[in-house]
Structure formats: C-alpha cells, structure tokens
Amino acid sequence: MTTTTSLQDFHLPRYQDLPQMGLYLEQTASYINDVLAPLGNVSLTSSMISNYVKQDLIFSPKKKLYSRQQVAELIFIAIAKNVLPLADLRKGLELQRSSYDTQTAYDYLVAELENVLDYVFGYKEKLDEIGHDHNDYKHMLRNIIMAVSYKVYLDQYFAKLG
C-alpha cells in the first residue's frame, strides 16, 4: 500500500526538544496534536487532559503550566489510549515511573514508535533492536506500539478506500 509521505519521514521530538517553558492547557493540547497529526486519530482535547489530571494519571500542572515531563507523558497517553483502557494506562505509567526516568522512557517510546511504524508501513524489512535492556516492560511497550502502529495503518488504509 502506498501511504502519505508524512509517515515515511515521521519523527517525534526527542525529550530535549519538547518545550522547556511550561505550556498552558490549550497550548499543551495544540502542541501534542500538532506533533501527532501524521498518525491520524491520535489526539487529545483540553477536556481529556483535565480529566487525566483529575484522575491522577498525570501530575497537576504548576501555576497552570504543563512541564516537559507532563507533555512527554501526555504524548504516551495520546498514543496508547487508542489500544489500552484507562486502568492499564495508569499501570503503564506507574511501571514506567518505577523503572525509568521520564526522559529515558519517552526517548525509547519515540525511537520505538518510529522503528515500528517504518516496519508496519513497509519502509523497512525488519524491526531494529532499540535500547540495551531486554525486559518485560520494554516488551510490553513494544507491543503497545505495535498495536497502535497497526491501527494507524488500518485507519489510513480504510480512509483511502473512502
């Protein structure tokens, strides 16, 4: 299947490239939706973000500003919510927080998502081995990313059929 060239060259910002200055709620939603736009139906609304704060899925913003850490976690949530229920998103975030710092976990997520998308869309023949650890957490995360990537593929495939 031929797809949009935007996914062939799709790259999410690495942790150090996320906004350093805090973002207000609307800015946070807009930023996340802009970087995830090539994935199609992967997005967040301001209301969703507020609900994730109320349900203690992410930490409350400080002085109404969302930090780089919160933006990184919200990008994970926006991606994973398409294949995981809220309770499992919570468990995944708790596992991440107990296993890796946010920068390490986020940069792995981004590299693995780009790796898997390239594979699922046929831009490469096999998956690269990302990172050095080979543990249950990384295996679980790769499977989330695989599920999301196949969903993105199917959404785009059927959208082209009209």
Q: How many domains does the chain have?
A: 1
* Structural domain containing residue 88: 5-161
- Quote the CA–CA distance of 87 and 104 in Å, as a whole number: 23
Which pTM does this prediction carry? Answer: 0.92
Res 22 pLDDT > 50: yes
Lookup: tokens for 101: 């710092």
- 32-62 pLDDT, tens digit per residue, is 999 999 999 899 999 999 999 999 999 999 9
- Quote the CA–CA distance of 61 and 144 in Å, as a whole number: 27
